[in-house]
Chain A
Amino acid sequence: MQAQVTDERTSGRGSTGAGFAVLLVAIKREPWIFTVSTIGSLLFGALTVADAWVLGWSTDHVVLPAFETGEIGGDMLLAVLALFVGVAILRAVGIVARRLGAGIMQYRMQAHTRRAVTRQYLALPMEWHQRHPTGQLLSNANSDVEAAWGPIAPLPMAVGTVAMMVIAVVQMLVADLVLALVGLLVFPAVMAANVAYQRLAQGWMTRAQQLRAEVSEIAHESFDGALVVKTLGREGEETDRFAAKARELRDVNIRAGRIRAAFDPALAALPNIGVLIVLAVGVSRVLNGQTDAGAVVTVAYLLTIVSFPIRSIGWLLGELPRSVVGYRRVRSVLDETGEMPYGDRTVGVAAGGARLDVDGLAYAYEADRELLTDVTFSAEPGRTVAVVGATASGKSTLTTLLTRLVDPDRGRVLLDGTDVRDLAAGELARVVSVVPQAAFLFDDTVRGNVALGADVGDEAVWAALRAAQADGFVAALDGGLDARLGERGTSLSGGQRQRISLARALVRRPRLLVLDDATSAVDPEVEARILAALREGDSDATLVVVAYRKATIGLADEVVHLEDGRVADRGTHAELLERSPSYARLVNAYEQHDELAGEVQA
């Protein structure tokens, strides 16, 4: 049902036209390689005809004389060999040019499109990413791109055969106008069959491509959560979830396949029927003396000749619906215009810690739920501000606003007095580093993960690793800085990943460092050493830390206490402890527990 609806919406009269439009994009992009492969195809076609000519020549000049006279020179035999082999070699050249050319063109187009799509992924804002599942985006960059440029492979062959057909048609017209016109009725019939095919198939193709994306989505999510699946023994349920989509894809593919199965023989049969009609009409014309048998033979023969090319064009046409669907899906990513606007202001680099002002910030992810309301505070250069609040009080959201992953609905974030929205692209990242709660590592070496392409020497990398208390385990890795961490750092423990992620921030010597509960997976002892390194290091960065532990909070010059997305209170740790009971309950929880435990013991 759904496929039928999609059919109504996406297909239409212009769908073959849309297919050719997609091909035209490729031809315009790669005109030279297209020309080469088309010439290769024409060469192949011409030499296929030449083969027949060589056989004819050899029959007349060598074989028949040889059998009649019984004498034939070795040079003539050599000529036969040379002609056949020469034609064969040229034809091989044609094949290589056609196939390799088509391949080069196809893979180049795939690469162009993949680069363009991934550029979009990098350019589009965080909000867009939150709305689009990973599996879907991977599918856009992979199977949709493949589908879009699939018809390039049979394209040169089809163009070559069109040329052959034109020649054949002219010969037919010369032989007998009426018979030729009868024969040529095959062409509109083929077009009609094709339009019917496009209309029937396109809806299913669209659905299939969508299902491919969904299958990939489920697989990606499920493999991502493999640990949870395993620990709760939910392999069966996950398989059922995947199987349901895989089976749906299977059924849609079968339906699309059946339509294709009907279309192909119809396309092959039409020219054959045409030949039979030409014969029938031809016989009656011969009887009436309007033409001679030779003309009938010629037209019938030529029509047989073009019937194979029509099939090869059919292959191309058959690929078009899938191509159009893939291309549309790719375009929908390329046409997104959600780019984050940047200004042109810059901030100084060498001036020590940056001044941060947060002014009346409000942000809602969904319209009916404001995560932050009227948040205002400041951090003087070189000072440390701790953001403290219960789970889900809006702390992490605040850090995403400070680093401009999202923009506020109301209010401003000012860095050295400049609204971060007025800063040029890349400028904020030059000054501010954030260590997120969940460390994300790249499939790269330790060095690559820490430096992230920044121009820093190994010494600086080691210094950052030391400050993050990561030098010990990195040194023990096979390869040290050159050790590869695997996709998302799966070879490391959570605490180790956090420390690499911290070193990544420190190595850039940021003027504002934002730590979002960045040591949650680290042992207390190690954490204490990290904090000491942060305090004693020669960095004079302004520090904003989201934290729970008193040792961390104790470092702060000011504490901002968040409750339900609002600033409940600001002041030093001691001040807040004294005047805010809810704050005291939050940060003293462990001690109260100790006392409780002590009482039980006593």
Chain B
Amino acid sequence: MSTVMDTGESISALRTLRRGVHYSPELVEGIRVTLLLAVLASVGQVVVPVAVQQVLDKGLGADGGPDVSFTVWTGVLAALAIVGTSWASYAMTSRLFTTSERGLATLRIKAFRHVHDLPLLTQNTERRGALVSRVTSDVDQVSQFLVFGGLLLIVSVGQVLVATVVMLIYSWQLTIVVWVCFLPLFASLRFFQRKLSAAYGVVRRQVGLMLSAISEPVVGAAVVKSYAVEARTQGRIDEAIGIHQAASTRAQGFTAVSFSLGGLSAGLANAGVLIVGIWLGQGVVPGADDITAGQVLAFAFLVTLFVGPVQMGTQILTDAQNAIAGWRRVIGILDTPADLVDPGPEGRELPRGPVDVRFEGVTFAYPGGPPVLREVTLDLAAGTRVAIVGETGSGKSTFAKLLTRLMDPTEGAVLLDGIDVREVGQASLRRSVVLVPQEGFLFDDTLTANVRYGRLGASEAEILASAEELGLSDWLAGLPRGLETRVGQRGESLSAGERQLVALLRAHLADPDLLVLDEATSSVDPALEMRIGRALERLMSGRTSVTIAHRLSTAESADEVVVVDRGRVVQRGHHSVLAAEADSVYAGLHASWTAQMGH
């Protein structure tokens, strides 16, 4: 199982483009028209030089004095041509903006969705800041390139080819000279592209790390302030900023050197054309001794037609590396397999009603670690209330995650109503099975919105009724704006206990057939916890519930207790029976619990 996200760094530039277009098909929509407009727009660059040439030769310099009407007509035609080509340029850029923004929005949305489809382990190993930067600033980099670089690059390559053909018509020998002078540049281009690609890969990665460092004093403001570790935190941020700066500067250094090489080749080519031209004329180089000085000089001007687009192309290529690096990282997300594969339309539906749970020889190990659960085989009858207990690190939480298919077992299978969970459609699974984790994350919105997360269409009356059933009406009534209270970022305007209440309310509203509570009331006061516990007992009738708790009060009231120790199920049965087994794991847990309670 892979828990590391694809950085995308191994993808070649060409493949990046292909994958990019694959994920954002909008990018190539109407590309032919856009290319045509690009050609028209580039004609605009020669309109005025041609017009000036014509006016000078035939207008001002006409035999018998300046020809006014010719000049005026040429001017009018040129002005019309400028208007036309300007419109073409506007239409082209406008289309480019439209297609690239549309394509990138699609890419952003797909990548965002895929992050949610990734396995929990992969999500946890990635820094949030880095994930965020992939769907934000990495995508922004691509946008700059697509609008201002991509098409110009194609046009430049075309111009280089056309210039080569024209040069060949004049003199194939001199054309070879030009190409020989540029060959080192083209050869070194690959080298520089690799260097640049690596350098910009580092830059994009450092952006993620830097954002991650910057997020610490924002997310952890309370800890930073109460421990007065501002200086240390700033030190860590400054370091990340410094590394990013150094990486960017280094990449810029490569860009500058790579771009300057084109000029060197141009200088060589100019000198080469003149010298070899002279040699050709003198017969030192055989094959074209009829060449004239005028032809050599004309060729020197042709070289500028060749050099211009080469320079432009090199610049775009070097600037593109930053964009490609960003693009790769976004594509890297999409190329990371979502290894909890949703069987999709073939997925089976869980029948409604209490769920029967079966673990068949389930072993689970985190990548590179020892097994956390070992060959667990277990049946939990439909409609029972099961408590899972065990010491920290015994594998209880892993149990909950396998049960709700947040992870898949390394060996064996988890069956719900006799169906392997891997064959159950995600929609059906999430509809029937709900996990309430210890830290109930809330969104920066109202209570209503957060509770509706459990059932989207729930009416206010239904929410209030749910709260009533769980015994939370008093608490709700005590809030300043009741259900319209805003919970703040991550729910931090509420206490940890209150956040757990919201999570419970949310789960209750979701109306699952199998409810899994993983320390879901650990921060709630004892009296309320007991009230909720009793309410849940009532509400759970007709459903299956699995509760993971270190407060053994939960175990005492469960239909069945499953004791986990070092990855194996060591005891199971009713509390009263297990507690009586002397020297058992459960007896030990129970003894320390009663001591805690001050019995």
Contacts and interface: CB of A to CB of B under 8 A. Distances in A.
Contact of B522 (A110, A123, A283, A521): A521
A68 B281 CA distance: 10
Nearest to A366: B480
B120 to A, nearest CB: 7
A396 interface: yes
A87 interface: yes
Contact of B597 (A403, A430, A591): A591
Contacts of B65: 287
Given A64-B293, A437-B496, A100 B256 contact: yes
Given A228-B441, A273-B79, A283 B105 contact: no
A520 B523 contact: yes
Contacts of B117: 235
Q: Is the interface of B mostly helix, strand, loop or mixed?
A: helix
A53 interface: no
A438 interface: yes
A85 B268 contact: yes
Nearest to A517: B523
Given A55-B270, A64-B293, A268-B89, 12 more contacts: A67-B293, A125-B225, A232-B454, A250-B102, A273-B82, A425-B228, A429-B229, A517-B523, A524-B592, A585-B527, A590-B526, A592-B530
Interface residues on A, range: 35 or more
Contact of B124 (A216, A282, A491, A591): A491
A524 B245 contact: no
Contacts of A459: none
A46 interface: no
Interface string A296-310: 110011001001000
Given A224-B490, A286-B60, A517-B523, A280 B266 contact: no
B146 to A, nearest CB: 11
Contact of B496 (A58, A137, A396): A396
Interface string A194-236: 0000000000000000001001100111111111111111110
Contact of B589 (A114, A224, A438, A525): A525
B495 A391 contact: yes
Nearest to A488: B219
A158 B94 CA distance: 25
A426 interface: yes
B255 to A, nearest CB: 6
Nearest to B266: A88
A266 interface: yes
Given A99-B256, A265-B90, A524-B550, A279 B55 contact: yes
B275 to A, nearest CB: 5
B347 to A, nearest CB: 12
Nearest to B428: A233
Given A293-B60, A438-B496, A528-B596, A80 B75 contact: no
A279 B51 contact: yes
B595 interface: yes
A242 interface: yes
A567 B475 CA distance: 19
Interface string A244-273: 001101100110011011101110110011
B268 to A, nearest CB: 6
B66 A286 contact: yes
B40 to A, nearest CB: 11
A84 B496 CA distance: 74
A494 interface: yes
A548 B526 contact: yes
6 contacts: A63-B296, A67-B278, A126-B225, A280-B71, A486-B125, A520-B496
Contacts of A114: 210, 214, 237, 241
B220 A440 contact: yes
B520 to A, nearest CB: 11
A100 B278 contact: no
B392 A229 contact: no
Given A257-B98, A452-B232, A232 B497 contact: no
A297 B128 CA distance: 62
Interface string B77-101: 0110011011101111110111001
A96 B256 contact: yes
B109 interface: yes
A118 interface: yes
A115 interface: yes
B598 A551 contact: yes
Contact of B255 (A103, A225, A522, A551): A103
A549 B526 CA distance: 8
Interface string B270-313: 11001101100110000000001100110010000000000000
B253 interface: yes
Interface string B403-440: 01010000000000000000000110111001111111
Nearest to A432: B226
Interface-central residue, B214, B225, B519, by most chain A CB under 10 Å? B225
B115 to A, nearest CB: 6
A275 interface: yes
Given A235-B117, A283-B60, A269 B264 contact: no
B456 A436 contact: no
Nearest to B531: A589
Given A134-B219, A249-B105, A92 B506 contact: no
A257 to B, nearest CB: 3
B441 to A, nearest CB: 4
A601 interface: yes
Interface string B515-545: 0000100111111111001000000000000
A564 interface: yes
A142 interface: yes
B505 to A, nearest CB: 13
B519 A269 contact: no
Contact of B125 (A87, A490, A554): A490
A591 B124 CA distance: 39
Contacts of B525: 389-391, 548, 586, 589
B511 to A, nearest CB: 12
A162 to B, nearest CB: 21
B52 interface: yes
A81 interface: yes
